[in-house]
Structure 1
Amino acid sequence: MSERITRAVIRRAQPADAAAIARVEVDSWRAAYLGLVPAGDLNILSTQAREASWRRILSHGAATGTRAWTLSAEGAVLGFASAGPTRDEDDDPCNVGELYTIYLLPAAWGRGLGAALLDTAQADVARRRHRTMTIWVLEGNTRARRFYELSGFTPDGARRRARVGAGSLPEVRYRRAL
């Protein structure tokens, strides 16, 4: 990939994007979670399994309110995000939207592309009349936490354990008024 990205295009993801999304997700996990997630769990990540999952999500997302977007430059998908109504029992899905995922290829980090994807997801959630947006993030993922904090999100005190590979890791919830 070139050092400078002159034009990025964000559009709604389609089932045909499942393979590219899976590749971004697996590559991003392997880079972002190195040292947080056991290496064995990262090594067994399968783009084929993630592709099948994303194909289902993108084919049936309308039923759950899930929407996803890809970010491409020079004809290649560099990142994606997905959002919809909150899945948390302590929040009202009519008022609270949730950023489910946001990932970029590691070579695209630090270029403002994640902020563009986040802005797209936030605008969509706001158009659906949600007043607040949340995101769950691994507690030890300081890079992501800094990104969300710079984007106006703050920890709201909620914590949970996320199943990751054979184990679980602590997550914290961030929240932002829209």
Structure 2
Amino acid sequence: MGRSSDPTVLIVEDEPDLADLYAAWLEDSCSVRTAYNGSQALDAIDQVVDVVLLDRRMPGLSGDTVLNTIRDRGLDCRVAMVTAVEPSFDIVEMGFDDYLVKPVSTDDLTSTVDQLLLRSTYDEQLQEFFALASKKAILDKQKTEAELRSSEEYARLEDRLAVLRSDIDDTMAQLDDQNGYSRACRDITR
């Protein structure tokens, strides 16, 4: 496979050593770009970028601001926040697809990129489902049962996931392509 057909990953990380480490982990399977702050990230991102690995806490433009700008520009890329910031319920409304809490292993990083590249082939309904499922998973892991029960954002997240799951089940039932159907089902049930 030629380099031009490799997926493009943009790593946004204000610690250059860490950014370069992530790049080294991914360079065999991806075309990698690095940005060491939010401004560089916004200069580096374009229609070619498939996945952005975005540090949430950076001096200057924060990862949250970069994420909002990416979404405002309508760029069709998947975004994973890679951060030491423990997630709070504010992540429910944020436009990212996955959330990794540092420290991140090479396996975590490469499997997240693989999953996001696979998701980018899905339609918007499935992409939203997976983004919300990722948010639910990280909140389930980081928050207590009592915190989850008392959060209105979490309740809305669960409701939206239930609606999407029902819609997707209907869509899947109508799919003619058995291979696409089984691959998507396998991914959903992970």
TM-score, length-scaled by structure 1? 0.29
Higher helix share: 2
Which structure: larger Rg? 2
Q: Which has the higher strand share?
A: 1
Structure with more relative contact order (C-alpha pairs < 8 Å, separation 6 or more): 1
